[in-house]
């Protein structure tokens, strides 16, 4: 009988880390109303932190904050802001400080993505993704850095692995996420002497997220036809576990790092689509292409 390949389990961070390691700490998370960032926020809260989640859709934020508070027993407040507009972020930070008195951890997670060939991608669409991902990260850091310094806290920036190689139809996100990685590296060296750490998490294909739907059209964790040393797609919990570690005292000497959370898939990554036919004839993958910004 041919042996079956290993598939990694999905673990709860509480099986490894004490539940009170973030007691008294406060998390400020952009993009925290859904997906990966909501999952990271929940994990940090399960270990004792209170949180403020930031986004443009107040209704979604309000519902998410209610769910997070009910699941964790901690306080989560929704704060409406657009990371492209610095004043709205400064207002959100002020409200978080008024509520909690401090900000220890920041997750810069607001992002946008879609598939588009360069020929169909408008200048406005390219600029919008840069503004959300790259400028949004910078604006979030500017609005929070004095408080993170005071707390001797840490940043996590949510990136991707798309720019490690050329990825068709992803020029906008590749450029934006490369900028995010660079921002984190500079924060690490400039703010390290002030006691601030900064790292990047780069999730692979993550089930149950909009990014998974955009990139693959799939919402499953079954990895048929997908090469991954650990046998499955990334789960939100995998990214959340890495966030718990990076914010924990166990990572007190870890800064300026970019950490893919992809089960080793990047080492095996080929082309996302048939190549070169998919770039010669974009209509062959038109169900995944979208450039409406």
Enumerate the active-site residues: 159, 177
Find the helix or strand (DSSP H, E) in which 29 lies.
Answer: strand 26-30
103 touches 148 (CB < 8 A)? yes
Pairwise CA distance, residues 175 & 182, whole Å: 11
Pairwise CA distance, residues 27 & 30, whole Å: 10
Q: Phi-psi bin for 256: left (phi > 0), alpha (psi -120 to 50), beta? A: left
CA atoms within 13 A on the CB side of 226: 24
Sign of CA dihedral 164, 236, 103, 93: positive
198 touches 184 (CB < 8 A)? yes
Quickly tell me which residue has 């400028």 as its tokens: 135
């Amino acid at each position: 009988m041919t042996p079956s390949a290993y598939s990694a389990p999905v673990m709860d961070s509480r099986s490894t880390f004490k539940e009170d390691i973030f007691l008294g700490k406060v998390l400020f998370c952009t993009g925290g109303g859904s997906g990966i960032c909501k999952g990271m926020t929940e994990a940090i809260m399960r270990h004792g932190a209170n949180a403020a989640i930031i986004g443009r859709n107040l209704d979604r934020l309000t519902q998410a904050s209610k769910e997070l508070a009910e699941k964790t027993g901690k306080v989560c407040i929704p704060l409406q802001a657009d990371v492209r507009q610095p004043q709205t972020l400064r207002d959100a930070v002020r409200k978080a400080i008024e509520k909690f008195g401090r900000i220890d951890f920041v997750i810069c997670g607001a992002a946008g993505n879609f598939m588009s060939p360069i020929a169909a991608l408008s200048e406005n669409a390219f600029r919008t993704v840069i503004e959300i991902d790259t400028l949004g990260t910078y604006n979030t850091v500017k609005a929070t850095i004095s408080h993170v310094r005071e707390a001797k806290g840490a940043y996590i920036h949510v990136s991707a692995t798309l720019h490690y190689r050329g990825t068709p139809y992803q020029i906008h996100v590749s450029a934006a996420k490369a900028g995010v990685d660079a921002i984190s590296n500079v924060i690490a060296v400039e703010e390290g002497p002030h006691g601030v750490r900064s790292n990047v998490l780069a999730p692979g294909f993550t089930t149950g997220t909009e990014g998974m739907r955009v990139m693959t059209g799939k919402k499953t964790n079954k990895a048929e036809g997908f090469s991954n040393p650990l046998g499955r797609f990334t789960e939100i919990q995998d990214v959340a576990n890495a966030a718990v570690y990076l914010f924990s005292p166990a990572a007190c000497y870890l800064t300026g790092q970019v950490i893919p959370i992809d089960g080793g898939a990047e080492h095996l990554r080929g082309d996302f689509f048939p190549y070169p036919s998919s770039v010669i004839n974009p209509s062959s993958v038109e169900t995944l292409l979208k450039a409406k910004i």
